[in-house]
Amino acid sequence: MPKQVDHKARRRQIAEAVTALISEGGLEAATLREIAARAGVSMGAVQRCFSTKEEMMVFVHEHLGELATAQIEGRIAASGAGDDPVAILTETVRGITPLTAEDLPWTRAWLVFAAQAATDPRLAAVQREANRGLFRLLSVLVRAGVDAGGLRAGLDPETTARDLLALTDGLGVQVLVGVHTVATARESVERALAALRP
């Protein structure tokens, strides 16, 4: 009887291998041979999971977004934020900024995809959707934080959300190229969050 393969699990396994390769050496490091070796599967198994490299890269980009979401949800749960919109906002912003050494690989891979999205419409669509989702979430949290009195009255939720996203994106790039350290990025995030409070 042929061995049954969990197709979804195999795709995630391959996505994690691609993420690691891209984080270490950019898109050019993610060759079929290297992906298969890193994932511990045959090249044929990779090709059975993804009919084209483009399909695989879109899946990997989406997978990175799911990992980031899970990381943020984990931070929120661990923080004991409960239903406090300011605490949830704080952990969300911290979660999308590379503030620890463990954040650097996924940040590096995400930014490689972001750069590629400038010329690849399919990756650009994934990037836009991820940013729209974060923008909506941050806007809702800012509005709720203002309404609850935990954030300054008069803050515009959309402008504040846009500013926070620009800050976290910029810090991600600057940490990776050595302009900022993880520690100085953390300081910048904490200053920005403190400036929102009454």
For 134-174, how does the pLDDT look when each residue is reduced to its tens digit (9 = 90+)? 999 999 999 999 999 999 999 999 999 999 999 999 999 99
pLDDT-based confidence at residue 5 (cuts at 50, 70, 90): confident
Set out the domains of the chain in order of their start, with CATH numbers: 1-51 (1.10.10), 53-194 (1.10.357.10)
Q: What are 60-81's pLDDT values in tens digits?
A: 999 999 988 888 899 899 998 8
Q: What is the pLDDT of residue 3?
A: 65
Residue 2 has pLDDT above 70, yes or no: no
Give percent of the chain with pLDDT exceeding 70: 98
Residue 85 pLDDT greater than 90, yes or no: yes
Mean pLDDT of the chain: 93
pTM given for the model: 0.87
Nearest to 110 by CA among 97, 121, 94: 97
